[in-house]
Every structure is written in C-alpha cells, then in structure tokens.
C-alpha cells in the first residue's frame, strides 16, 4: 500500500469538512476522487499532503505515519501535487519553474541535472518550445501543463492531481488522459480529483465519492455510476429526476 488514510476528520470552526475518511491505495493504481462541489476533496488532498493537520485519524505514506508533517517533508518523501487554481512562479521561466520541482523533490538534484530533467519533462507535457518563457505569460491551459510538469519533475511515487482537466476542450482532455495513463505506466500512483465525469470514469481503476465530507461510495467506475447514493448526491432524488424527465 502506498497510501493509507485512516479515519481522517477535519473541521474548520463549525464546518465539518471531512468525517472519518478511510481508504487504502495500492501502488500504480489510478484512484478517481469525485463528489459535488464543497464535498471536501481538495481538503482531503490538503490533509494528505501536509497543508492541514486533521483533528482525527492518520495518514500513512509508504508505511510511515506522516500525519501533520510539513509539506516539504512529504515532497522529499515522494509525494507531489497540482493545485485546482494553478500557482505558477510567475517571474521565473517555465524551465526554472520545473527545475524547482526537480531540485527540491524526491531527489536532491543539482542545477545541471535538474535542468536536464526539466527539459525532458517539458517535452513530455508539450511545453518544450516555451521553456524560456515567463510562467506568468502562459495561458491557463499551458499553466496547467506547467503545474503537472513541476509535479512530475519531482519524480514522485504518488501524484495528487486536482482538477487537471478543468477548462480543457475535448481534444485536450483526451490528450491529458493519455498523459495521465503514461505517467501511471512509468510507475507513479495517481489520485485524481475530477468533475469531468466521462474522463475520470474512463481512466480510473477505482473511485471514491465524497459528499459533505463523508465517504458515500467506493468501488469500480461501473459500480459508482450505478450507485443510487452517488446519483442522489449529484442530482438529488434520482426518482424525482426520472419523473421530471418523463414529464418533458
């Protein structure tokens, strides 16, 4: 198991963002994490990656208890993530951005090796020709790819992708899905938060559904698609939805 989340709960003042979330993640699996807006998906990422400390529960990464450890410690252990709202290092070049990931990630690379890794990763995500551009001058789609490149350059064991498909057109989505598969084939385990349903169902080996901070379903994409609780969470009462559809 590369990741074990045990009974994690997180509260912000009066709001219970996560309640008793528990799951295991075997290596080289792609786990899809879905749920309506505000369900706590990004909060779960933040707990796993060290931004927040949970009130209850623990997180084990590669067998080690990492609950509440600093984010940079987790990066050194081989955990990388992208953000829902991209965070490029604006005044640095695309190449320098990725080099930061390479230098400070799992391996302690020097500048020269980091540069080489950066070149390779940028080619992989299709940003090779923009290596010298300032990160701040990219468009949103390119910034998302930069964010992914930065995470990959850290050579992580586990990659947390937060809505990496958001805002992409259909052909870009198809491309990104292939990229995600290729990343997994290189040995990286992936958790994906997504709203683009068809894509995430297509690529995930397994899925977990959160609603109001609680885990309401877990299983293969087929099982999830047919799970009435999941449908209810997204669409409300499924029977009402059917009736309404019949009426029109």
Partner 1 sequence: MSTTDVELVEQGGKVQDAAPAVVSRWRNPGLWLTILGVLAIGLWPIITQNAATREVFLFILLNVVLASSLNIILGYTGYVSFGHVVFYGLGGYVGLYLMSRHGAPLWLAMIAGGLAAAVLAFLLGKAILRLRGAYFALATIGVNEAMRAFVNNFEPFGSATGLSLNFQVYNNYGGALQALWMTYYILLALALLAVMLSYVVKTSKFGLGLMAIREDEDAAEVMGVVTPGAKTWAYVLSAILPGIVGVLIFFKNGKVLPHEAFRLHFSIEFIVMVMLGGQGTVLGPVLGALGYQRLRGYLLTSDLFKNIHLSVAGALLLIIILFIPAGFVGWLRHRFAILRRFLP
Residues that bind partner 1 (CB under 8 A): 49, 51, 70-72, 75-76, 80-81, 83, 87-93, 95-96, 99-101, 103-105, 110-112, 114-115, 118-119, 129-134, 137, 150, 154
Closest distance between partner 1 and the C-beta of residue 16, in Å? 24
Closest distance between partner 1 and the C-beta of residue 75, in Å? 3
User: Which CB sits closer to partner 1, 155 or 215?
Assistant: 155
DSSP code, position 214: E
Q: Let me know if 16 is exposed, middle or buried by CB neighbors in 10 A (0-12, 13-18, 19+).
A: middle
Long-range contacts of 174-181 (CB under 8 A, 24+ apart): 175/126, 177/202, 177/203, 179/124, 179/125, 179/148, 180/30, 181/30
Distance CA 103, CA 110 (A): 6
User: Which CB sits closer to partner 1, 16 or 84?
Assistant: 84
Which residues neighbour 37 within 8 Å (Cβ) at sequence distance 6 or greater? none
Closest distance between partner 1 and the C-beta of residue 50, in Å? 8
Closest distance between partner 1 and the C-beta of residue 43, in Å? 15
Distance CA 179, CA 83 (A): 17
What tokens does 205 get?
A: 């080996």
User: Which CB sits closer to partner 1, 111 or 225?
Assistant: 111
User: Which CB sits closer to partner 1, 102 or 207?
Assistant: 102
User: Which CB sits closer to partner 1, 92 or 231?
Assistant: 92
User: Which CB sits closer to partner 1, 22 or 129?
Assistant: 129
- Which region, left, alpha or beta, applies to residue 159 given φ > 0 means left and ψ of -120 to 50 means alpha? beta
Closest distance between partner 1 and the C-beta of residue 104, in Å? 3
Closest distance between partner 1 and the C-beta of residue 184, in Å? 21
User: Which CB sits closer to partner 1, 104 or 234?
Assistant: 104
Closest distance between partner 1 and the C-beta of residue 96, in Å? 6
Neighbours of 247 (CB within 10 A): 6
Residue 77: its H or E element: helix 71-77
What tokens does 192 get?
A: 């994906």
Distance CA 33, CA 179 (A): 18
């Amino acid at each position: 198991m590369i990741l074990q989340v045990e009974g994690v709960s997180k509260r912000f003042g009066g709001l219970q963002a996560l309640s008793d979330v528990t799951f295991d993640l075997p290596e080289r699996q792609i786990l899809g994490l879905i749920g309506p807006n505000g369900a706590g998906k990004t909060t779960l990422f933040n707990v796993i990656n060290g931004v927040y400390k949970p009130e209850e529960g623990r997180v084990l990464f590669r067998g080690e208890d990492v609950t509440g450890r600093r984010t940079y410690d987790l990066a050194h252990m081989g955990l990388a993530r992208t953000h829902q709202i991209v965070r490029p290092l604006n005044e640095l070049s695309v190449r320098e951005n990725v080099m930061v990931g390479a230098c400070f990630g799992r391996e302690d690379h020097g500048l020269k090796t980091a540069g080489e890794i950066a070149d390779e990763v940028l080619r992989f995500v299709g940003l090779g020709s923009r290596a010298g551009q300032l990160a701040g001058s990219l468009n949103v789609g390119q910034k998302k790819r930069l964010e992914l490149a930065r995470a990959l350059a850290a050579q992580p064991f586990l990659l947390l992708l937060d809505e990496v498909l958001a805002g992409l057109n259909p052909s870009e989505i198809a491309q990104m899905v292939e990229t995600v598969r290729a990343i997994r084939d290189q040995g990286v385990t992936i958790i994906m938060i997504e709203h683009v349903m068809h894509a995430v169902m297509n690529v995930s080996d397994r899925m977990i559904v959160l609603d109001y901070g609680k885990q309401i379903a877990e299983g293969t994409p087929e099982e999830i698609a047919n799970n009435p609780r999941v449908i209810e969470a997204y669409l409300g009462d499924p029977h009402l939805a059917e009736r309404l559809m019949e009426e029109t």
